[in-house]
């Protein structure tokens, strides 16, 4: 296997600029494009924008799986790493699972690098564009959204990080962490700019042409703006004013009138089901290009479909093929669902008995249904996730070759309407708003959770549940977020932002319970970075959360 050398991001970000300095060139380039003579047409600016979008779709970068979905679930009480029986499969993910990662973890640096590359490319569009037409104003609005998104993802993993609101010069390699307020000010300012410009220069979300699906819209910018305010408010001593700003942004998305809950929760996760009317923003994965193990910059297929498929599944299953057995659901997640909420559980989780029944119903027969010896005995619970199913129908969807394990095309939802309704309810409640209004939004999600069709009178309302369980409003909201969004990647980040990440979550999971400490709330910035930036601290200290 080739040895990978990870160049520190701060050096990577300045290479392009340094190499293009006038005094470093003997002659003007002929027949070549550099940043100094590119971005002079709309098409060239658009090419730069597509480059800024590209890192969104990397489920593998520089030889490592980097999905935020996997991190948000495996780090939490929803799932464990899984993998092969040796427990030595993907050691970086095993470290995340067991809270044993250090600043030399092999995955943290690619996560950091991927997002700063995205920021660099967005900044290049913003600073180098030499055109000022309406279409380029739209491109710049999208670039501002992308810059905000990449900063937000960095914050969710590493806490307050160095902001990059411009192209970094060679003299600025020794960056230090900014404060939380500075990071979120950049994020929210970028998103407010994106909202205002997209309203002027972009089609409305409901009128987006089919060949532009997946691009940033007003709805996506408003939704991420609300989510950024939600996190900022939660981490800033439950600031009701910022929760109010989150509420306003979410409410504006609802008022657009273009998003709706899918009638059947299960239909959100079928084969090739992408960009539904519930999708506000989702990462597009494609199999149009050759992807193989030697392409280390970024794999554009959704690698976690294969990585988190059912390990040891027999070939007779009518719909699924075997995967590599990562992101194994926990008993804690399975037990989370209330008795009247089994439909959402069954859509999210499967077990050997259910798989066997599906095989029998299709006329197949095999024994064993699952070769359990192939599964990690430490993490196996007899359950597997189904939201990122490894469908047999993915075979042959990539006509241009490439490794079929790397070219599967299930998109990754970032914010869907069900998620937004729950965030809106939270923002209303925590900004001292009307709880009856908040529960009405939650009840839209609960009605759909009961199954397809009109469930009026056939499901317990938010008030019913609160009374029956003796729950506070926040108990209800946290229950719904975990049940609705399980295996979609938000769990760990919700726990951290709300101060609920603690050792008690991992009772009966010896590794996690024993190893967890507050130092694990954030990933350390890798040794590759701090070695070239002495002022860049490995972890954020308390003074930065202001």
Q: Which domain range does residue 159 map to?
A: 1-52+107-202+502-538
Number of domains within the chain:
1
304 within a domain of the structure (yes/no): no
pLDDT at 9: 56
Q: Given a cut of 90, is residue 43 above it in pLDDT?
A: yes
Mean pLDDT of 256-262: 97
Q: DSSP for 417-451? A: HHHHHHHHHHHHHHTT--HHHHHHHHHHHHHHHT-
Contact call for residues 93 and 107 (beta carbons, < 8 A) = yes
Cα angle value 104/105/110 (rounded, 5°)? 105
509 within a domain of the structure (yes/no): yes
Mean pLDDT of 289-303: 70
Confidence of residue 148 (pLDDT cuts 50, 70, 90): very high
Q: Given a cut of 60, is residue 21 above it in pLDDT?
A: no
Q: Taking the chain, what is the end-to-end CA distance rounded to the nearest angstrom?
A: 45
Mean pLDDT of 108-127: 97
Confidence of residue 200 (pLDDT cuts 50, 70, 90): very high
d(CA 42, CA 64): 35
Contact call for residues 411 and 302 (beta carbons, < 8 A) = yes
Query: Among 227-241, 279-293, 419-433, 470-484, which is the least confidently predicted range?
Result: 279-293
160 within a domain of the structure (yes/no): yes
Q: Given a cut of 50, is residue 432 above it in pLDDT?
A: yes
Over pLDDT 70: what percentage of the chain? 90
pLDDT at 413: 95
Mean pLDDT of the chain: 91
Query: Among 224-233, 244-253, 420-429, 510-519, which is the least confidently predicted range?
Result: 510-519
pLDDT at 270: 94
Confidence of residue 319 (pLDDT cuts 50, 70, 90): very high
Q: Given a cut of 70, is residue 28 above it in pLDDT?
A: no
Max avg pLDDT among 385-399, 458-472, 505-519? 458-472
d(CA 162, CA 176): 6
Stated as kind and residue range, the H or E segment containing 149 is: helix 134-158
pLDDT at 409: 85
Query: Among 6-20, 39-53, 336-350, 359-373, which is the least confidently predicted range?
Result: 6-20
Alpha-carbon separation of residue 173 from 129, 177, 331, 493 (angstroms): 24, 12, 46, 29
168 within a domain of the structure (yes/no): yes
Mean pLDDT of 161-183: 93
79 within a domain of the structure (yes/no): no
Q: Given a cut of 80, is residue 95 above it in pLDDT?
A: yes
pTM: 0.93
121 within a domain of the structure (yes/no): yes
pLDDT at 272: 87
Mean pLDDT of 278-295: 78
Dihedral sign for Cα atoms in the order 518, 530, 149, 487: negative
Query: Among 201-215, 228-242, 282-296, 422-436, which is the least confidently predicted range?
Result: 282-296
Q: For residue 359, count other CB atoms closer than 10 A to its CB.
A: 22
**Locus of tokens 């002495």:** 534
Contact call for residues 285 and 301 (beta carbons, < 8 A) = yes
pLDDT at 101: 97
Mean pLDDT of 453-470: 93
Query: Among 54-63, 109-118, 187-196, which is the least confidently predicted range?
Result: 54-63
3 state DSSP class of 376: coil
Mean pLDDT of 478-501: 98
pLDDT at 240: 98
Q: Given a cut of 90, is residue 288 above it in pLDDT?
A: no
pLDDT at 10: 52
Please give the distance of CA 434 from its chain centroid, rounded to a whole number. Answer: 30
Q: For residue 436, count other CB atoms closer than 10 A to its CB.
A: 10
Mean pLDDT of 459-485: 97
Tokens, residue 187: 């994020």
If one compares 493 and 398, the residue with the highest pLDDT of the two is 493
Query: Among 11-25, 130-144, 278-292, which is the least confidently predicted range?
Result: 11-25
Contact call for residues 248 and 218 (beta carbons, < 8 A) = no
pLDDT at 22: 41
Alpha-carbon separation of residue 71 from 95, 185, 271 (angstroms): 11, 25, 23
d(CA 118, CA 143): 10
Q: Given a cut of 90, is residue 290 above it in pLDDT?
A: no
pLDDT at 94: 95
19 within a domain of the structure (yes/no): yes
The CATH number assigned to the domain holding 124 equals 1.25.40.890
Cα angle value 178/53/220 (rounded, 5°)? 80
């Amino acid at each position: 296997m080739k040895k990978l050398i990870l160049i520190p991001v701060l050096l990577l970000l300045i290479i392009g600029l340094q190499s293009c300095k006038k005094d470093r060139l003997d002659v003007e380039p002929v027949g070549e494009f550099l940043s100094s003579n590119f971005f002079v047409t709309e098409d060239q600016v658009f090419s730069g924008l597509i480059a800024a979008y590209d890192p969104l779709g990397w489920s593998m970068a520089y030889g490592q799986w980097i999905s935020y979905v996997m991190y948000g679930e495996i780090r939490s009480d929803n799932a464990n790493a899984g993998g092969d029986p040796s427990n030595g499969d993907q050691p970086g993910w095993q470290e995340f699972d067991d809270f044993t990662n250090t600043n030399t973890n092999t995955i943290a640096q690619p996560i950091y690098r991927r997002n700063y590359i995205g920021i660099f490319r967005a900044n290049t569009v913003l600073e180098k564009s030499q055109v000022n037409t309406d279409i380029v104003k739209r491109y710049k609005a999208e670039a501002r959204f992308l810059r905000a998104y990449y900063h937000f993802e960095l914050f969710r993993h590493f806490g307050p990080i160095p902001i990059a609101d411009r192209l970094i010069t060679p003299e600025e390699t020794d960056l230090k962490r900014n404060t939380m307020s500075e990071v979120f000010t950049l994020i929210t300012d970028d998103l407010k700019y994106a909202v205002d410009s997209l309203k002027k220069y972009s089609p409305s979300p409901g009128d987006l042409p089919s060949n532009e699906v997946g691009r940033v819209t007003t709805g996506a910018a408003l939704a991420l703006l609300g989510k950024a305010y939600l996190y900022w408010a939660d981490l800033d001593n439950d600031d009701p004013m910022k929760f109010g700003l989150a509420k306003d942004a979410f409410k504006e998305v609802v008022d657009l009138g273009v998003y709706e809950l899918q009638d059947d929760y299960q239909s959100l996760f079928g084969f090739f089901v992408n960009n539904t009317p519930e999708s506000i923003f989702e990462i597009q994965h494609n199999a149009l290009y050759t992807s193989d193990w030697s392409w280390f910059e970024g794999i554009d297929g959704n690698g976690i479909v294969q990585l988190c498929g059912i390990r040891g599944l027999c070939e007779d299953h009518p719909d699924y093929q075997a995967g590599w057995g990562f992101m194994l659901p926990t008993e804690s997640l399975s037990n989370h669902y209330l008795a009247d909420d089994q439909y959402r559980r069954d859509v999210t989780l499967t077990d050997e008995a259910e798989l066997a029944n599906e095989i029998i119903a299709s006329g197949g027969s095999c024994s064993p249904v699952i070769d359990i010896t192939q599964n990690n005995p430490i993490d196996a619970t007899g359950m597997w996730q189904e939201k990122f199913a490894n469908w047999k129908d993915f075979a042959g969807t990539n006509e241009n070759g490439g490794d079929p394990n790397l070219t599967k095309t299930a998109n990754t939802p970032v914010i869907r309407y069900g998620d937004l309704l729950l965030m809106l309810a939270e923002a209303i409640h925590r900004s001292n708003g009307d709880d009856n209004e908040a529960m009405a939004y939650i009840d839209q999600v609960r009605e759909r959770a009961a199954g397809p069709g009109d469930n009026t009178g056939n499901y317990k309302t938010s008030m019913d549940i609160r009374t029956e369980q003796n729950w506070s409003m926040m108990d209800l909201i946290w229950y719904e977020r975990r049940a609705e969004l399980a295996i979609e990647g938000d769990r760990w980040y919700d726990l951290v932002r709300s101060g609920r990440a603690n050792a008690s979550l991992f009772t009966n999971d010896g590794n996690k319970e024993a190893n967890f400490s507050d130092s694990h709330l954030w990933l350390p910035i890798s040794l590759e970075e701090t070695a070239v930036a002495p002022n860049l601290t490995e972890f954020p200290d308390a003074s930065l959360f202001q």
